Amino acid sequence: MDALAELLDGPRARGAFLLRSVLTPPWSVRIADLAPLTLVLMVRGDAWIRTEDAGTRVLRPGDIAVIRGPEPYVLAGDRETAPRIVIGPGQVSTADDGTELCERMDLGVRTWGDDPGGVSAGGSPGSAVMISGTYQMRGEISGRLLSALPRVLVLPGDGWSSPLPALLSDEVVRDEPGQDVVLDRLLDLLLIAVLRAWFGRPEAAAPAWYAAQGDPVVGPALRLLHDDPAHPWTVADLAARTGVSRAALGRRFTDLVGEPPMAYLTGWRLALAADLLREPDATVASVARRVGYGSPFALSAAFKRVRGVSPQQHRDRAAAATWRTGWTW
What per-residue confidence (pLDDT) applies to 15?
75
What is the full DSSP assignment across 89-121?
Answer: GGGEEEETTS-B-TTTTEEETTEEES-GGGSST
Tell me, what's the pLDDT at 297?
93
Q: What is the pLDDT of residue 328?
A: 38
Sheet with strand 64-68: strands edge to edge: 106-108, 111-113, 17-23, 128-135, 37-44, 64-68, 152-155
Residue 69 has pLDDT above 90, yes or no: no
Residues with Cβ within 8 Å of 220's Cβ and at least 6 positions away in sequence, in order, are 241, 242
pLDDT the model gives residue 135: 86
The span from the CA of 13 to the CA of 85, in Å, is: 26
Residue 72, preceding peptide bond in cis (omega within 30° of 0): no
Residue pLDDT, tens place only, 1-59: 566 666 666 667 777 889 999 999 999 999 999 888 999 999 999 999 999 887 899 99
Is 209 a residue whose pLDDT tops 80? no
Look at the domain 209-325 and name its fold: Arc Repressor Mutant, subunit A (1.10.10)
Give the pLDDT of residue 78: 92
- Comparing CA positions, the residue from 95, 97, 78, 93 lying closest to residue 21 is 93
Confidence band, pLDDT 50/70/90 cuts, at residue 324: very low
CATH architecture of 3-204: Sandwich (2.60)
pLDDT on residue 120:
65
Half-sphere exposure of 232 (CA within 13 A, CB side): 1
Over the stretch 283-307, which tens digit does the pLDDT of each residue have?
A: 899 999 999 999 999 999 999 998 8
Report the alpha-carbon distance of residue 199 to residue 51 in Å, rounded: 22
Q: How far apart are CA 245 and CA 274, in angstroms?
A: 33
Buried b (16+ CB within 10 A) or exposed e, 126-151: ebbbbbbbbbbbbbbbbbbbeebbeb
CA 73 to chain centre: 16
Domain ranges of the chain: 3-204, 209-325
Report the percentage of the chain scoring pLDDT > 90: 47
Question: What average pLDDT does range 64-69 have in this prediction?
Answer: 94
